[in-house]
């Protein structure tokens, strides 16, 4: 019979609670805010600010440095090595899928100025997903398949009810989580996330991914 | 930047590690309460915006139709738009702007022009239910909602179809 480590159990419980709390904030922003307050950016920012404030507080309480979280350059090249291979494969798959679906009459959408901001949005998403959720998942399950799968499931869940985007982000979340556990570098992941997002936006977003809409916004 | 305590990613069982966890638990509770209040506030705000609780009125069966009054207590001079539904089907719409001195005398309205009357409709023999709704526009006209005024009105036309009578009071 093994001895139960109550402090470890509590630590895991708190980590679980932190994951659920951040996911809840995201779901509130995606589903509740848009349903009740429409496109109000001020109200929409409330759960995001709450989540961000909590994540920063949690990092401070757990003594995590920016470097540990993944805001670092010392392993950028190594992380990019992993990430770029994956990114090239995904980009080729997206373009080929677009070619097949459009039966050869493939064309790129017109790039928009807001694409320049995607890198920041991608960095924020990767920070929340890997720098926080992944790290807390590791507190619950340790490094490995369980925590990686949890990150993927969370990322997919946050892209419901867009069916194909949910599947794509689940797979992407798993792959990025696996890379993060090997080389925790958020900049490299943000670059990959940005390239995939722009490729999707330019090729399949309108026809297959319903303009990448998620949450309540998906319905109109 | 964040390196203030001694408890790192690995689980630690020292007393120093318990305080951060307590603080985290407290922060999680506070965050949950804040989000609950936010969602509750949004839900109530949305409901009040879509279904203002300030609409009051009444409808009744008269020998030649359905009549009543409608008032917005937030603006007692506003003329409300009402709609008649019979057996859950839209029949007619009107602005409640007819004279009802009794409404202003009772203190519901700022003036007497809040009455309405629907009389030019025909229904087949048998029992029917009429409902009067007040129409409300919100979200810059993107949303319209209906609120029931008073109670559903059960009625039946006479044998010759010229008059209707209430089935219950």
Residues B85 and B20 in one domain: no
**CA–CA separation, A159 and B143 (whole Å):** 27
Q: What is the domain-level CATH number for residue B109?
A: 2.60.40
Q: B95 is written with which tokens?
A: 């602005």
**CA–CA separation, B52 and B74 (whole Å):** 9
Residues B24 and B103 in one domain: no
Q: Is residue B6 part of a domain?
A: no
Q: What order of strands is seen across the sheet that includes strand B143-157?
A: B89-95, B81-86, B128-138, B143-157, B164-166
Nearest Cβ partner for B21 among A11, A54, A69: A11
Nearest CA in chain B to A32: B39
B153, B169 contact by CB (below 8 A): no
3-state secondary structure A42-92: HHHHHHHHHHHHHHHHHHHHHCCCHHHHCCCCCCHHHHHHHHHHHHHHHHH
Nearest to A192 by CA among A208, A180, A202: A180
- Which residue of B7, B9, B13, B142 to mutate against A (max A Cβ within 10 Å)? B9
- pTM for the model stands at 0.80
Nearest Cβ partner for A139 among B6, B11, B43: B11
Q: Is residue B107 part of a domain?
A: yes
B112, B81 contact by CB (below 8 A): no
Nearest CA in chain B to A17: B28
Residues B107 and B27 in one domain: no
Please check the confidence at residue B1 and state whether its pLDDT lies above 70: no
Residues B129 and B66 in one domain: yes
**CA–CA separation, B2 and B42 (whole Å):** 34
Residues B76 and B28 in one domain: no
Residues B70 and B41 in one domain: no
Residues B41 and B98 in one domain: no
Q: pLDDT tier at B7 (50, 70, 90 boundaries)?
A: very low
Q: Give me chain B's average pLDDT, please.
A: 86
Q: What pLDDT is stored for residue A8 in this prediction?
A: 64
Contact B2 A60 (CB under 8 A): yes
Contact residues on chain B for A14, CB-CB shorter than 8 A: 21, 24-25, 28
Nearest to A191 by CA among A121, A104, A100, A109: A121
Cross-strand bridge partners of residue B147:
B134
Sequential pLDDT tens for chain A (220 residues):
455 566 665 889 999 999 999 999 999 998 998 888 877 778 888 999 999 999 999 999 999 999 999 999 999 999 999 999 899 998 998 888 877 877 766 666 666 777 788 999 999 999 999 999 999 999 999 999 999 999 999 999 999 998 888 999 999 999 999 999 999 999 999 999 999 998 888 887 666 676 778 888 888 7
Residues B108 and B131 in one domain: yes
How many structural domains compose chain B? 2
B156, B127 contact by CB (below 8 A): yes
Instruction: Could you list the beta-strand ranges (E) of chain B.
Output: 55-62, 65-72, 81-86, 89-95, 98-99, 113-118, 128-138, 143-157, 164-166
Residues B72 and B114 in one domain: yes
Residues B127 and B87 in one domain: yes
- Which residue of A17, A49, A60 to mutate against B (max B Cβ within 10 Å)? A60
Residue keyed to tokens 């997903």 = A129
Q: Is residue B94 part of a domain?
A: yes
Residues B116 and B138 in one domain: yes
Domain with B36, as residue range(s), is: 12-50
d(CA A69, nearest CA chain B) in Å: 10
Nearest CA in chain B to A26: B35
- Dihedral (CA of B38, B42, B44, B48) sign: positive
CB atoms within 10 A of CB A67: 16
Please check the confidence at residue B16 and state whether its pLDDT lies above 60: no
Q: Is residue B77 part of a domain?
A: yes
Nearest Cβ partner for A61 among B12, B24, B39: B24
Q: Is residue B3 part of a domain?
A: no
C-alpha B70: how far from chain center: 13
Residues B18 and B99 in one domain: no
């Amino acid at each position: 019979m093994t001895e139960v480590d109550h402090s470890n159990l509590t630590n895991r419980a708190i980590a679980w609670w932190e994951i659920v709390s951040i996911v809840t904030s995201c779901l509130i922003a995606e589903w509740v805010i848009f349903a009740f307050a429409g496109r109000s950016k001020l109200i929409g920012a409330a759960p995001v600010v709450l989540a961000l404030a909590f994540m920063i507080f949690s990092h401070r309480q757990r003594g995590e440095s920016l470097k540990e979280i993944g805001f670092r350059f010392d392993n950028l090249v190594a992380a990019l090595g992993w990430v770029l291979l994956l990114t090239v494969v995904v980009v080729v798959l997206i373009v080929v899928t677009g070619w097949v679906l459009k039966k050869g009459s493939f064309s790129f959408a017109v790039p928009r100025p807001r694409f320049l901001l995607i890198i920041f949005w991608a960095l924020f998403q990767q920070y929340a997903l890997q720098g926080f959720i992944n790290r807390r998942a590791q507190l619950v399950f340790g490094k490995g398949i369980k925590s990686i799968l949890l990150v993927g499931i969370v990322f997919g869940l946050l892209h419901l009810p867009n069916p194909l985007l949910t599947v794509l982000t689940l797979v992407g979340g798993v792959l990025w989580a696996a890379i993060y556990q090997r080389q925790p570098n958020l900049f490299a992941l943000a670059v990959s996330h940005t390239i995939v997002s722009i490729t999707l936006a330019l090729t399949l977003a309108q026809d297959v991914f319903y303009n990448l809409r998620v949450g309540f916004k998906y319905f109109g | 930047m964040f390196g203030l305590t001694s408890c790192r990613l690995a689980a630690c069982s020292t007393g120093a590690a318990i305080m951060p966890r307590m603080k985290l638990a407290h922060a999680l509770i506070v965050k949950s309460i804040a989000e609950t209040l936010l969602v509750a506030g949004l839900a109530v705000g949305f409901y009040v915006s879509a279904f203002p609780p300030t609409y009051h009125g009444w409808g009744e069966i008269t020998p030649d139709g359905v009549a009543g009054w409608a008032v917005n207590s937030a603006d007692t001079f506003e003329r409300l738009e009402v709609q008649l539904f019979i057996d859950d089907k839209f029949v007619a719409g009107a602005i409640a702007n007819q004279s009802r001195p009794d409404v202003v005398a009772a203190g519901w309205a700022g003036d007497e022009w809040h009455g309405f009357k629907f009389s030019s409709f025909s229904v087949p023999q048998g029992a029917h239910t009429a409902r009067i709704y007040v129409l409300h526009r919100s979200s810059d006209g993107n949303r319209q909602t209906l609120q029931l005024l008073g109670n559903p009105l059960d009625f039946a036309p006479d044998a010759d179809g010229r008059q209707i009578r209430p089935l219950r009071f």
